[in-house]
Amino acid sequence: MARVSALEAGETIWSEVYPGNRNTAECLQPAVLGTEEALGLSAELRCRTVWRMDGGAGTDEQFCWLLARGYHVLGKGFSNRRAEALAQRVENWEEYREGVWFAEIPSPFQFPRPVRVFVKRKRKDGAFHHYYYVSTLSLPAKSCFLRLYDDRGAAEIEQFRGDKSGLGLEARRKHSFVGQQAYILLTDLAHNLLADFHRQALQGTTFDGFGSKRIVRDLLAMPGYLTLRKNYLRVDLLRKKQFSGELVMCLLRFCSEAKTGLETASVCTKE
């Protein structure tokens, strides 16, 4: 499965299911084109958009394709052999953190636009391992590039893992490939609805740090009654249940701020 997410909004922009033998580099261009269509990324907007990629997508072909389309990039290079060769060109290493060093070298690549090239040395199991990174960004210090690159992991940790545990993404499998694609789309819809609910109702409250799992398990699974009559909604929650009182205020906030199409709504607790 390949996915593109908007970290700040917490929403999934694009998803697709691929056979297990498809590598990341082969999924990149469909992901970029799907994101362009979903967000309406014109040439003016693409020049202010950065793609952060791990080594699986960091081939020369993919870097050239993104740069030709006007994007900025910050990506890890694909080739370990090239990383070892580039490390031989480093004259002075700067310590990034314990056991990790970082250096910039003149770019040896012929890309459509100028790029900066960085090499990282990491001590692991008593040996040195090397990695290289390519970027078009201008940042105040070399260490900023590694920090910005490392930040990309939030999507995998916060969203992918949350969907696996909170929405059962990992537990459910369809025998049909098309059926699995449909299930992924339904999961994306549920994910984005939860992201919208969090933004509209939970932000700035006790539940601000809740992910998909806790929202589903501790809040939306709370016993209660829903009464819907024309454009009127009444929600009754079990008073003795943990979080019920605080959740009432969140639901009132959601009904008043979100475009629910309801004329009136009331939320309360009862025995």
Residue 210 belongs to a domain: no
Judgement on whether residues 136 and 247 belong to the same structural domain of the protein: no
Higher pLDDT, 29 or 175: 29
Per the structure, the count of domains in the chain is 2
Please provide the size of the chain in residues.
271
**Residue 143 and residue 17 in one domain:** yes
Residue 110 resides in a domain: yes
Name the domain boundary from 111, 132, 152. 152
Residue 1 in this model has a pLDDT that exceeds 60 = no
Residues 252 and 142 placed together within one structural domain of the fold: no
pLDDT at residue 51 is higher than 70 = yes
Q: Which two tokens stand for residue 264?
A: 């009136």
CA-angle at 146, arms to 139 and 165, nearest 5°: 125
Using the predicted structure, report yes or no on whether residue 271 has a pLDDT greater than 70: no
Residue 47 included in any domain: yes
Which of 134, 152, 170 represents a domain boundary (last residue)? 152
Is the pLDDT confidence value at 18 over 90?
Answer: no
- Pull the structure tokens for residue 68: 């030709």
SS3 71: coil
Give yes or no: residues 137 and 39 share one domain.
yes
Note whether 93 and 226 are same-domain residues.
Answer: no
Range of the domain at 260: 222-270
Tokens of residue 166, six digits? 């909170």
Within a domain: 72: yes
Q: Give the end of a domain, one of 129, 152, 175.
A: 152
SS3 235: strand
Residue 130 sits in the same domain as residue 231: no
φ, ψ at 146 (rounded to 5°): -65, -40
pLDDT the model gives residue 15 = 83
pTM for the whole structure: 0.74
Residue 170 falls inside a structural domain: no
DSSP β-ladder status, 264-270 and 232-238: parallel
**Do 53 and 148 fall within a single domain?**
yes
- 247-252, Cβ contacts within 8 angstroms, sequence gap of 24 or more: 247/207, 247/219, 247/222, 249/205, 250/201, 250/202, 250/205, 250/207, 251/201
Query: Do both 104 and 234 map to the same domain?
Result: no
Q: Per the domain annotation, does 198 fall within a domain?
A: no
pLDDT digits (tens, 9 = 90+) for 197-238: 998 899 899 999 888 888 988 898 888 888 888 777 788 888
* Same domain (yes/no): 146, 253: no
212 in any annotated domain: no
Rounded distance between C-alpha atoms, residue 98 and residue 22, angstroms? 36
Say yes or no: 29 and 142 in one domain.
Answer: yes
Q: Which of 77, 61, 71 is nearest to 4 (CA)?
A: 71
181 within a domain of the structure (yes/no) = no
Question: What is the separation of C-alpha 173 from the centre of its chain, rounded to a whole number of angstroms?
Answer: 22
What's the sign of the alpha-carbon dihedral 142, 149, 66, 93?
positive
Mean pLDDT across 70-85: 94
